Amino acid sequence: MRLLGGLHYLVLGGEASWDDVGGALERHSEFLVRFTAEQRVQTNEVGRAWALLPGLLSTGAERVDLVELGASAGLLLALDRYAYRYREGSWGTGEPLLTGEGRGGPPASLLARPVEVVRRRGIDLAPIDATAPAGERLLEAFVWPDQRERRERLHAAIAALRRDPPELVQGDYVELLPEFLRDRRPGALTVVMTSVSTIYLGEERYQRLLRLLSRAEAPLVWLALEGVRDDPDYQGHALELTVWPHGERRRLARVDYHAEWLEWAT
C-alpha cells in the first residue's frame, strides 16, 4: 500500500504515469524507497462520518467538545459540516453529501436532532495538514485512482475543513489523552471519538485507554466505530457509545468496513 501510494503521489504531481510504472520505479527509486520506509498509510476516509454522525446525535447533546484519537488530517472532526442522506431521512446542508445503504435506521427522530461541534481537537502520531497542497496530495495518494467518487468526496471535505481547521497535535494519544480531558469547553459535552484506531492497540495499551476514560471527570462520552476485539467473526465494525459516570455501553449499529452500509440496532 505504501509503494502504490508513493506511485500515486508521483502521478498526482505529474512526475510519473500509470502507463509506465516500470519507468517510474526506475527513475524515482530513491524517493519510493524513502516513501515506503517512512510514510504511514493515511486515508482518513470521510465516508465513515456517515456512520459516526448518528452516534454523535445519539449523545443527545446540542453542543459538543470533540476530541478524536488517531485523527490523521482531522476530516472526521468536521462531520457536522457535511450533508447526509439515509433511508429514513437526511441531515445537514453542507458538502460533501454522504450516503450509503441503510439496512434499517437510524430513526428519523434521531436525524431531527441538531448538534454543533464547538471545539475540534485531534491527536495523531503523524497528523497531516490537509489545508496545504502537499497534505491534500498525500491524502489523495492513498485513495486509488479509479475511485473517483472517493476522491471527489475527499476534496469537498478538505474544502470544508479549510474554513476553520481543527487543532491537531502530534503524539501518542494514550499518553496525551489525560491532558486533553482536563482542558474542556464549558457548556459542551466532551465526546472522545475513535474510528478504526483502537483496534491497532495492543491489549495492554487498550486497557490503559479504558482506564483513562473511566477515571476522567464525568460527564464524558466515547463514540467508537471499531472492530469488535472479542469477536473476530463479527462482520463489519461496531458503532458504540460509552457514557460516564457509569460507563454504560450501547451498541448502536453494525457498519460496513468502509461505511458503505449501516444496520441500526433495534
Residues in the chain: 266
Q: Give me the domains of the chain, ranges plus CATH numbers.
A: 2-38 (no CATH), 46-264 (3.40.50)
Q: Confidence band (pLDDT; 50, 70, 90) for 132?
A: very high
Residue 80 has φ and ψ, to the nearest 5°, of -80, -5
How confident is the model over 19-59, as pLDDT tens digits? 999 999 999 999 999 999 999 988 889 999 999 999 999 99
User: Mean pLDDT throughout 11-20?
Assistant: 96
Q: How does strand 116-124 pair with strand 83-86?
A: unpaired
User: What pLDDT was estimated at residue 44?
Assistant: 87
164 CB-contact burial (10 Å; exposed 0-12 / middle 13-18 / buried 19+): exposed
Mean pLDDT, rounded, of the chain: 95
User: Mean pLDDT throughout 192-218?
Assistant: 96
Does residue 18 surpass a pLDDT of 90? yes
User: Mean pLDDT throughout 166-182?
Assistant: 97
Dist. CA 251–CA 224, nearest whole Å: 10
User: What pLDDT was estimated at residue 156?
Assistant: 97
Q: Confidence band (pLDDT; 50, 70, 90) for 232?
A: confident
Cα separations in angstroms, 108 against 54, 100, 213, 266: 10, 16, 31, 14
Dist. CA 231–CA 235, nearest whole Å: 9
Grid cell digits, residue 114: 441538531
Q: Confidence band (pLDDT; 50, 70, 90) for 122?
A: very high
Enter the pTM of the model.
0.94
